[in-house]
A and B are shown apart, each in its own frame.
Chain A
């Protein structure tokens, strides 16, 4: 059929407008493909990795050697001891493990399994320090050869301490060596580290059994292990984002398509009527006009899928190095490509169909002659607007007539704002949280966690150091835990403030962190029910105050009361906060870190985030630009005749622009003003959903700086698209009035 050529010709003539819609669809398809394909890649590889290389179900640390055979018989779990030692040299901490062969087996990339005298390094550390295979590394004055890169299923998100938020491969690495070398290098190992695999029916009994026999120091189930769980959480989070994000872009673009289609059909009303008069049927006309959505869909989604697919590879690589996951096999997820193709199709065809369906309700005679509703140039008659000066009045009338358009514009801006704020806030929050916490709340420079709770008579504390005790509890009814600290009554190391910045005194009453309070929905005066991790002991404590700490599931009270409540003797403690570096024997220390080390970590890793944020900002700006451009061009195209008349009458272009498109300014502003608080709300709920069952909590900070940056970027996009539209308007000549008299 010859008339099927019409759509392509119209699209060519209105190239920029259709190109913009195609780009919107492409961005939507791309977003979906990009995330879905790379997520699937990571997901499949992750699952394969943890299965084939036997990820642990948990690990525990004891101070005495356990009876593996006894435990295995009694509880039916697989157990493997891993020799473990930590070395700190030149500001770098190396956590050294022996190579296990049943649980947490290493996946070796670019190299081979180490023999005596050889080691594997974790991929991030390897990269950060630019090692090559067969390089040598010196550990405690002994030279080793780096035989390759080793990925561990229980060290996927390689953070040093359980509380860390970001990995810091410059200062922390995991080293794998043979058991033989371990024993030679470290004749005395202070603790015993076991991984277990298998389902435990009574985990509480398991813990208390180990505790009573061999003195349990630490017990971490897989679901509480941040090195495993953060990856899963971030994967889940990213997956959760994928669909709504692309769906929203598709929805906005479909709606724009609907408006554009309606306009095309309306301007072509006489031509469609003529087609009928020639003897073409509704079916013929329908088939021809559905080609508009068809072409937009095909080019948009295929372009998007291609872009997304090629971008997915570097993104997978980025995730892979971010989470330190190995690539075990190539993944081509057809199902996601199908969705990326089908999802926009549904919305595009529906909007095309709806635009046509309304038109088909008209009779042929109405199409030929045009009825009021499809004729342009008639502005609504609203008395209220008459009180304004002429140009403002016309502007308001245009805004009113194009209400749907203005709404889409505002929604588009809201969305772009959220998108951009999301990236900015993620970065801000982490940096701000850390800086604030360490400047305002945590005044110590060094933190030491010792091997045991005792009065430690061998340690002499100066006034530059304070002892503390800490214990981790499960919160009843929730899969969450809380770390409760017992600290000095008028501690100089930890300062807590309420939300009005008044200092909260440390006393015998419990103070908890705000993120935890928010997550549990607790207010001051509420009760919190907790249970010891290693024994069955339960406690109910009253929350006295909520402290404005940006991160952490933590609680504080004074050391004396802490020891009394949780059954320690008066002077006992497990750790030290200190302003200066302490020279403690290595055998005493379980974990230690310095504040500057930690702050460096964050600063280093914030760079990684910046890249993601730049991409997000770019996408947000392009989205805003396309949406504003398409919608304003539409108005210009529809009103060519009016523009011509106004120009003929002697109106300046600036005034015409203001009258017809001035309302866009309000929609833009409204979109932005609604977008900012809405982004905070959506981020909070997203964060809550993502961290619901995870021992991780953080306050999201929307800083004025990020609000300004977001505004600057979006406003720039807005101005650019307005400039383009204005140029289009400049091209409209008064002669259009005569030419378009057919309408």
Chain B
């Protein structure tokens, strides 16, 4: 098993109130597959990603990735883990404004032990012609593709996308999904996509459904379709 989560809980305390953003969540993920994570707002999706990606800590429970327990890692080990295993794609792109498109991607490649070729990835994401521009000179769709390129170029085992299409129009969204699928096929990258768009689940191998911090459903999708065919 590539990822194994055991009874994960994340608790926020505000004054005397306790919010269980995650409540004893357990699941297993296989390498090289596409997963979607769905659930109403506030159900704990982002929280789960943050913990899985090594950005945040869980109060209870354990996660193993590739046999290593990331819930037991110290700060330094965690940043090595992020460096070697995880690529992030955010809803609002979060590109570094002070760096060009090319440099944004290169700054990520530079951290990896076995990075992909930057130009190749930029071409794959169809932003090669923009490589010397700065992020604020790009459209939202272009920025998101640069963000994916930045995640992909490290050649990580896993890419976590938090509502990658949330700020994009239909065409741009479809292109982004197709590119994520390409990456998955070509490099065998495990991809997790948080989404409010149920249609996107159709291109996933399985879907995790969260409600109020609990994992209420883990459903395999035998009739998986290609990103091209997804429509809403």
Q: Residues of A with Cβ closer than 8 Å to B?
A: 1-3, 5-7, 9-10, 13, 268, 270-271, 273-282, 363-365, 368, 739, 741-742
B79 and A274 contact, CB distance less than 8 A: no
B110 and A2 contact, CB distance less than 8 A: yes
A368-B55 CB under 8 A given contacts A278-B82, A278-B88, A279-B80: yes
B90 and A368 contact, CB distance less than 8 A: yes
Most buried by A among B79, B84, B86, B154: B79
C-alpha spacing A368/B86, complex, angstroms: 16
Min Cβ gap B68→A in Å is 15
User: Which of B91-99, B122-130, B186-194, B214-222 lies on the face that meets chain A?
Assistant: B91-99
Q: List 22 A-B contacts (CB under 8 A).
A: A2-B107, A3-B96, A3-B99, A5-B99, A5-B103, A6-B99, A7-B98, A271-B94, A271-B95, A271-B96, A271-B98, A274-B96, A276-B79, A276-B82, A277-B53, A279-B79, A279-B82, A279-B111, A280-B83, A363-B56, A364-B56, A365-B55
- Count the B residues whose beta carbon is within 8 Å of the partner chain — how many? 31
C-alpha spacing A471/B111, complex, angstroms: 86
Most buried by B among A2, A6, A13, A281: A2
Given contacts A5-B103, A273-B94, 8 further A-B contacts (CB under 8 A): A2-B106, A270-B94, A274-B90, A276-B82, A278-B150, A363-B56, A364-B50, A365-B56
A5 and B98 contact, CB distance less than 8 A: yes
Q: Collect the chain B residues with CB atoms within 8 Å of residue A271's CB.
A: 94-98
Task: Assess whether B108 is interfacial by the CB under 8 Å rule.
Answer: yes
Q: Residues of B with Cβ closer than 8 Å to A?
A: 50, 53, 55-56, 75-76, 79-80, 82-84, 86, 88, 90, 92-99, 103, 106-108, 110-111, 136, 150, 154
In the complex, the chain A residue whose C-beta lies closest to that of B134 is A9
A364 and B94 contact, CB distance less than 8 A: no
Most buried by B among A3, A363, A741: A3
B99 and A364 contact, CB distance less than 8 A: no
Min Cβ gap B58→A in Å is 12
Cβ-neighbour of B82 out of A7, A277, A282 (below 8 A):
A277
A281 and B79 contact, CB distance less than 8 A: yes
Q: Collect the chain A residues with CB atoms within 8 Å of residue B93's CB.
A: 742
Q: Collect the chain B residues with CB atoms within 8 Å of residue A270's CB.
A: 92, 94
In the complex, the chain B residue whose C-beta lies closest to that of A274 is B94
C-alpha spacing A7/B97, complex, angstroms: 11
C-alpha spacing A742/B93, complex, angstroms: 9
In the complex, the chain A residue whose C-beta lies closest to that of B55 is A364
A2 and B82 contact, CB distance less than 8 A: no
A280-B94 CB under 8 A given contacts A9-B99, A364-B55, A364-B56: no
Most buried by A among B75, B80, B96: B96
Q: Collect the chain B residues with CB atoms within 8 Å of residue A277's CB.
A: 53, 55, 82, 86, 88
Min Cβ gap A520→B in Å is 64
Majority DSSP secondary structure for residues of A touching B: helix
Min Cβ gap B30→A in Å is 24
Q: Collect the chain B residues with CB atoms within 8 Å of residue A364's CB.
A: 50, 55-56
In the complex, the chain A residue whose C-beta lies closest to that of B107 is A2
Q: Collect the chain B residues with CB atoms within 8 Å of residue A281's CB.
A: 76, 79
C-alpha spacing A271/B107, complex, angstroms: 13
C-alpha spacing A274/B96, complex, angstroms: 8
Ranked nearest first, the 4 interchain pairs of A and B with the lowest CB-CB distance are: A279-B83, A6-B98, A9-B98, A274-B94
In the complex, the chain A residue whose C-beta lies closest to that of B151 is A278
In the complex, the chain A residue whose C-beta lies closest to that of B143 is A742
C-alpha spacing A363/B50, complex, angstroms: 11
C-alpha spacing A741/B84, complex, angstroms: 31
Q: Collect the chain A residues with CB atoms within 8 Å of residue B150's CB.
A: 278
Min Cβ gap B77→A in Å is 11
C-alpha spacing A331/B65, complex, angstroms: 68
C-alpha spacing A268/B97, complex, angstroms: 9
Cβ-neighbour of B107 out of A3, A9, A10, A13 (below 8 A):
A3
Q: Collect the chain B residues with CB atoms within 8 Å of residue A739's CB.
A: 136
Q: Collect the chain B residues with CB atoms within 8 Å of residue A9's CB.
A: 98-99
C-alpha spacing A273/B50, complex, angstroms: 12
Q: Collect the chain A residues with CB atoms within 8 Å of residue B83's CB.
A: 278-280
Q: Collect the chain B residues with CB atoms within 8 Å of residue A282's CB.
A: 75
In the complex, the chain B residue whose C-beta lies closest to that of A743 is B92
C-alpha spacing A9/B134, complex, angstroms: 11
B55 and A2 contact, CB distance less than 8 A: no
A280 and B111 contact, CB distance less than 8 A: yes
Min Cβ gap A265→B in Å is 13
Min Cβ gap B117→A in Å is 16
C-alpha spacing A368/B99, complex, angstroms: 18
In the complex, the chain A residue whose C-beta lies closest to that of B82 is A279
Min Cβ gap A637→B in Å is 14
Min Cβ gap A289→B in Å is 11
Q: Collect the chain A residues with CB atoms within 8 Å of residue B136's CB.
A: 739
Cβ-neighbour of B110 out of A1, A273, A363, A365 (below 8 A):
A1
C-alpha spacing A275/B111, complex, angstroms: 11
Q: Collect the chain A residues with CB atoms within 8 Å of residue B86's CB.
A: 277, 279
A6-B96 CB under 8 A given contacts A276-B82, A365-B55: yes
C-alpha spacing A518/B184, complex, angstroms: 88
A10 and B98 contact, CB distance less than 8 A: yes
C-alpha spacing A363/B55, complex, angstroms: 8
C-alpha spacing A3/B80, complex, angstroms: 18
In the complex, the chain A residue whose C-beta lies closest to that of B57 is A363
C-alpha spacing A742/B90, complex, angstroms: 11
Min Cβ gap B66→A in Å is 16
Q: Collect the chain B residues with CB atoms within 8 Å of residue A2's CB.
A: 99, 103, 106-107, 110
Q: Collect the chain B residues with CB atoms within 8 Å of residue A7's CB.
A: 98
C-alpha spacing A18/B107, complex, angstroms: 25
Min Cβ gap A371→B in Å is 13
Q: Collect the chain B residues with CB atoms within 8 Å of residue A279's CB.
A: 79-80, 82-84, 86, 111, 154
C-alpha spacing A277/B106, complex, angstroms: 15
Q: Collect the chain A residues with CB atoms within 8 Å of residue B82's CB.
A: 276-279
Q: Collect the chain B residues with CB atoms within 8 Å of residue A363's CB.
A: 55-56
In the complex, the chain B residue whose C-beta lies closest to that of A6 is B98
In the complex, the chain B residue whose C-beta lies closest to that of A2 is B107
C-alpha spacing A578/B98, complex, angstroms: 80
C-alpha spacing A736/B141, complex, angstroms: 19
C-alpha spacing A368/B50, complex, angstroms: 10
Q: Collect the chain B residues with CB atoms within 8 Å of residue A274's CB.
A: 88, 90, 94-96
C-alpha spacing A739/B86, complex, angstroms: 29
Min Cβ gap A604→B in Å is 58
In the complex, the chain B residue whose C-beta lies closest to that of A742 is B92
C-alpha spacing A26/B113, complex, angstroms: 43
C-alpha spacing A268/B96, complex, angstroms: 9
Min Cβ gap A437→B in Å is 65
Min Cβ gap A231→B in Å is 54
Min Cβ gap B157→A in Å is 13
Min Cβ gap B112→A in Å is 8
C-alpha spacing A543/B84, complex, angstroms: 88
C-alpha spacing A314/B86, complex, angstroms: 63
C-alpha spacing A715/B90, complex, angstroms: 49
C-alpha spacing A420/B203, complex, angstroms: 74
Q: Collect the chain B residues with CB atoms within 8 Å of residue A280's CB.
A: 79, 83, 111
C-alpha spacing A271/B108, complex, angstroms: 13
Most buried by A among B53, B93, B106, B107: B107
Q: Collect the chain A residues with CB atoms within 8 Å of residue B96's CB.
A: 3, 6, 271, 274-275
Min Cβ gap A549→B in Å is 65
Min Cβ gap A11→B in Å is 9
In the complex, the chain B residue whose C-beta lies closest to that of A741 is B92
B56 and A278 contact, CB distance less than 8 A: no
Q: Collect the chain B residues with CB atoms within 8 Å of residue A741's CB.
A: 92
In the complex, the chain A residue whose C-beta lies closest to that of B160 is A277
B50 and A365 contact, CB distance less than 8 A: yes
Q: Collect the chain A residues with CB atoms within 8 Å of residue B107's CB.
A: 2-3, 278
Q: Collect the chain B residues with CB atoms within 8 Å of residue A365's CB.
A: 50, 55-56
C-alpha spacing A259/B170, complex, angstroms: 42
In the complex, the chain A residue whose C-beta lies closest to that of B147 is A274
Q: Collect the chain A residues with CB atoms within 8 Å of residue B75's CB.
A: 282
